[in-house]
């Protein structure tokens, strides 16, 4: 797999892989994105992704492109593709005066088709080792939960390690509360309860995270959204990570702490995989 | 003045105003920028801007483009331009796996020539009214001081007001310490001392800010870099804002508080304007 694989891209509906160097997405990170799994030729959890994109646009004051239009553009990139990753970026477009947004923004829509990443099956089946990143997440409620384009904290965190022994880094806030992974949400299982950090101050409210919180009841699990420190993590029965592409990865090690891929994680993996492909529930 | 003024741009030295939609500058705000005043056809404080850009690149782990190369590209856009704004953007380029940077990044260099902004002379001569923004700056030491592309806090803050009665918004951190304006640094004068907020946790270390801290001694002023709350601001003898384009703007009002353009501000304005054009000291 070369790094120069051509990535098919539509910018504002045109077969074009470039954007203006005056786009506010570049100048300020003034925009949002979604990373969507395509399985069986259909974008998975499409409506949820569109709802989060819309919520993010509302938060930033960007007019959200019509979801049907984005769906059409996405489908235009998927005619004969079974499995891939769709990335959709929406920026506030060009214009305005410095940081001040234009009165009548014309958002830029970017739809990219990326190859399905080649993570080893062992990540899902046996689990992964993680590290605790030194880079912290800063509390910023106006930006919390949404998937905006200001991602330097994640870039710096991901620079902290190399190699494939460690597959993800956990990130804490300045108080030491664990928030999420650099690219995933964090769950623990403790006494038949699913616990995931509160994302009201920082973090990205993941799509699979929301799906699992809904599925939990069917498995007889209660769900708690609360602060989660290292002590709770160490004492957890099971630990796992989620995102739209990896699904669920059991966590089996962090420094000297070890966990097994437990029954609850396994059941959730099966339930998630068993949802109808492309279904939005 | 229309908003569609053509902005001359060089991308990696070529007359090209677009960048790849896969550029990490867009995807993550993974890069830095400099906004440089051009006066008399020469970029002002060029060496200082290049030093800050280099420091920012080192902080993010981006190989900094050669300053002479950037100087050549900037000069290529300035043949017959007396007064304008140069914007230089350096990103980590394309590649990498998700947030993880590529092992051998090829930075993207973008040089843009913008028209000189038409701020009224009264801003400099009589002073400006400001507001206190609701949007806070979050403490993030690894990113503090450098001029990176994650600027959503400033965009959200600048959205809080319209019109030209208020010309700038002051931003505080979560503890209520004033840090800077959305696009400028903040100074107060109190008992012949120049005070400006510490930028070790957040904020951009401005070029004119550094110049003034050096000039202060010549005017018999001491300089203090420390936390600055609303009480100190209210009690200040003089208040002013700085950046590379506005130079120094006296602050004459914030809500019901009023200040005059004082002698120290006036002297600093004269000293700053009197520095040889294009000189880097």
pLDDT for the residue numbered B276 = 77
Residue B279 in domain: no
Question: Which of the 8 DSSP states describes residue A30?
Answer: -
Same structural domain, B137 and B266 = yes
Q: What is the residue-averaged pLDDT of chain A? A: 94
Cβ contacts (< 8 Å) between B179 and chain A: which residues? none
Q: Which of A115, A133, A155 is the last residue of a domain?
A: A115
pLDDT tens digit string along A95-153?
998 999 999 999 999 999 999 999 999 999 999 999 999 999 999 999 999 999 999 99
Residue B178 belongs to domain with CATH number? 3.20.10.10
Which of B65, B89, B115 is the endpoint of a domain? Answer: B115
Contact A138 B138 (CB under 8 A): yes
Structural domain contains residue A3: no
For residue A107, tell me if it sits in a domain: yes
CA–CA dist B249, B229 (Å, integer)? 20
Q: Residue B57: its pLDDT value, please?
A: 98
Q: Which of B115, B142, B172 is the last residue of a domain?
A: B115
B281 occurs within a structural domain: no
d(CA A168, CA B240): 46
Identify from A19, A23, A25, A26 which residue to disrupt to test chain B contact, counting B C-beta atoms within 10 A and taking the largest count: A26
A241 and A109 within one domain = no
Whether residue B221 has pLDDT greater than 80: yes
State the helix-helix crossing angle for B207-215 and B263-274, rounded to 10 degrees.
110
| DSSP letter, residue A138 | P
pLDDT band at A243 (very low <50, low <70, confident <90, very high): very high
pLDDT band, residue B4 (cuts 50/70/90) = very low
Contact B25 A24 (CB under 8 A): no
DSSP H or E segment with residue A164: none
Q: Are A111 and A62 within one domain?
A: yes
**Is the domain of A39 the same as that of A145?**
no
For residues A99 and A94, what is the distance between their CA atoms, to the nearest angstrom? 11
Our CA angle for B114, B119, B122, nearest 5°, is 160
Q: Is the pLDDT of residue A26 over 90?
A: yes
Banded model confidence at residue B1, pLDDT cuts 50, 70, 90: very low
Residue B49 domain-assigned?
Answer: yes
Domain range for B51 is 9-115
Chain A: give the shortest CA distance to residue B1, in Å.
Answer: 12
Whether residue A254 sits in one domain with residue A141: yes
Q: Which residue has the tokens 């979801």?
A: A67
- B169 CB-near residues (< 8 Å, 6+ apart): B130, B131, B132, B133, B157, B158, B160, B161, B181, B182
Shortest Cα distance, chain A CAs vs residue B45, angstroms: 21
What are the tokens at A115?
């190859």
For A251, the token pair is 């966590």
The yes-or-no verdict on residue A279 having pLDDT over 80 is: no
Instruction: Please answer yes or no on whether A136 and B135 come within 8 Å at the CB atom.
Output: no
Of A20, A211, A205, A55, nearest to B112 by C-alpha is: A20
Judgement on whether residues B248 and B268 belong to the same structural domain of the protein: yes
Question: Cβ–Cβ of A20/B23 closer than 8 Å?
Answer: no
Beta bridge partners of A139: none
Tell me, yes or no, whether B138 and B255 share the same domain: yes
- pLDDT score at B277: 62
Task: Report the 10 Å Cβ neighbour count for B232.
Answer: 16
Task: Report pLDDT digits (tens) over A140-167.
Answer: 999 999 999 999 999 999 999 999 999 9
For residue B118, give how far its alpha carbon lies from the nearest alpha carbon of chain A (Å): 11
With CB atoms and an 8 Å threshold, state whether A153 touches B140: yes
Contacts of B203 (CB under 8 A, 6+ apart): B137, B144, B145, B179, B180, B185, B197
- H or E element in which residue A6 lies: none
Name every chain A residue with its beta carbon within 8 A of the beta carbon of B148. Answer: 152
* In chain A, % of residues over pLDDT 90: 91
The domain that holds B48 is classified in CATH as: 3.30.470.10
Least confident of A45-49, A275-279, B10-14, B271-275: A275-279
Does A135 share its domain with A267? yes
What's residue B2's pLDDT?
A: 37
Q: What is the count of structural domains for chain B?
A: 2
Burial class (CB in 10 A: 0-12, 13-18, 19+), A78: middle
Q: Indicate the pTM of the whole model.
A: 0.96
Residue A3: its pLDDT value, please?
43
Helical residues (DSSP H) of chain B, grouped into ranges: 24-28, 46-60, 67-76, 121-125, 152-158, 207-215, 230-235, 263-274
**Which of B131, B136, B146 lies closest to B173 in space, CA to CA?**
B136
Which pLDDT tens digit goes with each residue over B112-161?
999 999 999 999 999 999 999 999 999 999 999 999 999 999 999 999 99
> Looking at the domain assignment, is residue B63 inside a domain?
yes
Cross-chain residue pair A29–B150, CB shorter than 8 Å: yes
Residue A151 is nearest to which of B7, B91, B99, comparing CB atoms?
A: B99
B129 and B93 fall within a common domain:
no
Please give the pLDDT value at position A79: 81
Name the band, by pLDDT with cuts 50, 70 and 90, for residue A190: very high
* Per-residue exposure over A106-138, b if at least 16 CB sit within 10 Å of its own CB, e if not: ebbbbbbbbeeeeeeeebbeebbebbebebbbb
Identify any residues that bridge with B240 across adjacent strands, giving them in sequence order: B187, B250
Residue A279 within any structural domain of the chain: no
- CA atoms of B137 and A138, how far apart (whole Å): 10
Q: Which residues of A touch B138 (CB under 8 A)?
A: 138-140
Q: What is the mean pLDDT of residues B238-247?
A: 98
Residue A278: per-residue pLDDT:
52
DSSP letter at B168 equals E
Cβ pair A235, A228 in contact under 8 A: no
A107 and A164 both lie in a single domain: no
Both B221 and B90 in one domain: the answer is no
CA distance B207 to B101: 29
Query: What confidence score (pLDDT) does residue A157 get?
Result: 98
Between β-strands B9-11 and B108-115, what pairing exists: parallel, antiparallel or unpaired?
Answer: antiparallel
Predicted local distance difference test score (pLDDT) of residue B52: 98
Q: What pLDDT digit, counting tens, does each position of A37-56 carry?
A: 999 889 999 999 999 999 99
Residue A80's pLDDT is: 82
Task: Decide if pLDDT at B5 tops 70.
Answer: no
Q: Do B158 and A100 touch (CB under 8 A)?
A: yes
Residue A36: burial class (beta carbons within 10 Å; 0-12, 13-18, 19+): buried
Contact residues, chain A, for B7 at CB < 8 Å: 22
Is residue A281 domain-resident?
Answer: no
pLDDT of residue A81: 85
pLDDT (tens digit per residue) in B9-22: 999 999 999 999 99
Residues B90, B203, single domain; the answer is no
Average pLDDT value for chain B: 94
pLDDT of residue A5: 64
Predicted confidence band of residue A260 (pLDDT cuts 50, 70, 90): very high
Inform me whether the pLDDT recorded for B281 exceeds 80. no
């Amino acid at each position: 797999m070369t790094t120069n694989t051509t990535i098919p891209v539509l910018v504002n509906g045109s077969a074009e892989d470039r954007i203006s160097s005056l786009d506010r997405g570049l100048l300020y990170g003034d925009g949002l994105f979604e990373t969507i799994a395509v399985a069986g030729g259909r974008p998975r959890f499409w409506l949820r992704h569109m709802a989060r994109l819309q919520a993010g646009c509302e938060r930033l004051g960007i007019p959200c492109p019509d979801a049907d239009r984005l769906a059409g553009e996405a489908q235009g990139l998927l005619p004969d593709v079974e499995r891939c990753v769709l990335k959709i970026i929406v920026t506030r477009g060009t214009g305005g005066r410095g940081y001040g947004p234009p009165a009548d923004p014309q958002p830029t829509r970017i739809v990219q088709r990326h190859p399905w990443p080649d993570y080893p099956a062992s990540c899902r089946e046996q689990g992964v080792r993680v590290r605790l990143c030194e880079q912290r997440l800063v509390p910023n409620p106006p930006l919390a939960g949404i998937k905006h384009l200001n991602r330097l904290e994640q870039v710096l965190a991901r620079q902290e390690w190399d190699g494939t022994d460690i597959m993800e880094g956990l990130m804490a806030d300045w108080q030491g509360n664990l928030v999420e992974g650099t690219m995933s949400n964090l769950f623990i299982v403790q006494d038949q309860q699913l616990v995931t950090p509160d994302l009201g101050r920082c973090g990205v409210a993941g799509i699979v995270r929301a799906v699992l919180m809904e599925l939990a009841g069917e498995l007889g699990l209660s769900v708690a959204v609360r602060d989660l420190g290292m002590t709770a993590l160490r004492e957890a029965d099971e630990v796992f990570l989620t995102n739209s592409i990896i699904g669920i990865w059991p966590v089996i090690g962090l420094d000297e702490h070890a966990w097994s891929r437990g029954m609850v994680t396994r059941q959730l993996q099966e339930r998630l995989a068993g949802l109808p492909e492309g279904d939005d529930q």
